[in-house]
Amino acid sequence: MARPFTASDDEILLAARNVISRRGPEAFSIAEVASEVGLSRAAIILRFKSTQALKVASLNKMVEQFAAALESLPQTPGGDNLLRLAAFIGGHVRSRESSARFFASYSANIRDRELLKLEVRRGEALHTAISNVMPPVAIDHNSAVAAFSAHLTGSIVAWLGRDDPDSRRYLVVRTKEWLKLAGIRFNEKLVEELSAPPPAAATSAPARSRPPRSKTGRTRKRARPRLKSGDADR
């Protein structure tokens, strides 16, 4: 008898993340997670107890990964690292649909105590990342950090209404203008690098040559070389 399919907690949380990205937190369901990961709904409830518990666990994992990715970015204050941070946030935007769902469900999220805590943690992680790379400017440090955070949020909202498929490029270009306005120096070549489209997927290997076909469309067998007298004994 074949062994029943099992999935790790991380695989279930990844499936839950995919469902949240597609449906948003409000329309999240264990049934859809179960279908994606190949388990029964009852099997997932045995591990995560409820829809709310699984949703919170998945969002918590997403916040942890977001914070860890921010910490991995260069930490030296300056315009170049503000550009890198903007590129990261722009690349973190999955699609117009998921971004629109995020903003649409935000008010509902902050009414839920557990989800509000996660939103606060996400905001604190971003605030810290901006603070670490914000150089001295004309206004005080915390005000500059808040202004840059508002710039990122506003740029994402503005991108939703633009006919531009590349959110990363859009945020980098908008950040370039923000840095000019704030009088923060940056490297123009870095702007070009960060706003360049991602490399195209590697081309597939060339197809193997196929045996020639006859006029009827049937594959002809390749003719075998005839053996000369005595060759079989060599």
- 229: in domain: no
- 158: in domain: yes
Asked if residue 161 and residue 51 are part of one domain, the reply reads: no
| Cα–Cα distance, 232 to 225 (Å, whole number) | 12
Can you give the pLDDT at residue 3? Answer: 39
Asked if residue 140 and residue 87 are part of one domain, the reply reads: yes
SS3 of 213, please? strand
Asked if residue 188 and residue 152 are part of one domain, the reply reads: yes
User: Is there a contact between 190 and 160 (Cβ–Cβ < 8 Å)?
Assistant: no
CA distances to 84, 148, 149 from 190, in Å: 9, 19, 21
**pLDDT tens digit at each of 234 positions of the chain:** 333 457 888 999 999 988 888 877 778 889 999 998 988 999 999 999 899 999 999 989 989 999 999 999 999 999 999 999 999 999 888 666 665 555 555 555 566 788 888 889 999 999 999 999 999 999 999 999 999 999 999 999 899 888 888 999 999 999 999 999 999 999 999 999 999 886 654 333 444 333 343 444 444 444 444 444 444 443
CA distances to 71, 123, 180 from 128, in Å: 9, 9, 22
Greatest Cα pair distance in the chain: 96
- 218: in domain: no
Q: What are phi and psi of 55, to 5 degrees?
A: -60, -45
Can you give the pLDDT at residue 6? Answer: 78
Asked if residue 122 and residue 151 are part of one domain, the reply reads: yes
Quote the pTM value.
0.75
- 223: in domain: no
Asked if residue 162 and residue 85 are part of one domain, the reply reads: yes
Asked if residue 177 and residue 89 are part of one domain, the reply reads: yes
| Cα–Cα distance, 61 to 73 (Å, whole number) | 19
Asked if residue 77 and residue 186 are part of one domain, the reply reads: yes
| Cα–Cα distance, 81 to 130 (Å, whole number) | 9
Q: Please state the domain count of the chain.
A: 2
Q: How many CB atoms lie within 10 A of CB 82?
A: 25
Asked if residue 191 and residue 82 are part of one domain, the reply reads: yes
Can you give the pLDDT at residue 109? Answer: 59
Write out the two tokens for 208.
Answer: 């193997």
- How deeply is 167 buried, as exposed, middle or buried, from its count of CB atoms within 10 A (0-12, 13-18, 19+)? buried
Provide the residue range defining the domain that includes 84: 73-195
Q: What are phi and psi of 213, to 5 degrees?
A: -105, 150
Return the CATH number at 5: 1.10.10.60
Can you give the pLDDT at residue 233? Answer: 42
Asked if residue 80 and residue 53 are part of one domain, the reply reads: no
- 148: in domain: yes
- 222: in domain: no
Can you give the pLDDT at residue 24? Answer: 76
| Cα–Cα distance, 121 to 7 (Å, whole number) | 28
Q: How many CB atoms lie within 10 A of CB 186?
A: 17
Asked if residue 92 and residue 143 are part of one domain, the reply reads: yes
Asked if residue 153 and residue 118 are part of one domain, the reply reads: yes
Asked if residue 49 and residue 22 are part of one domain, the reply reads: yes
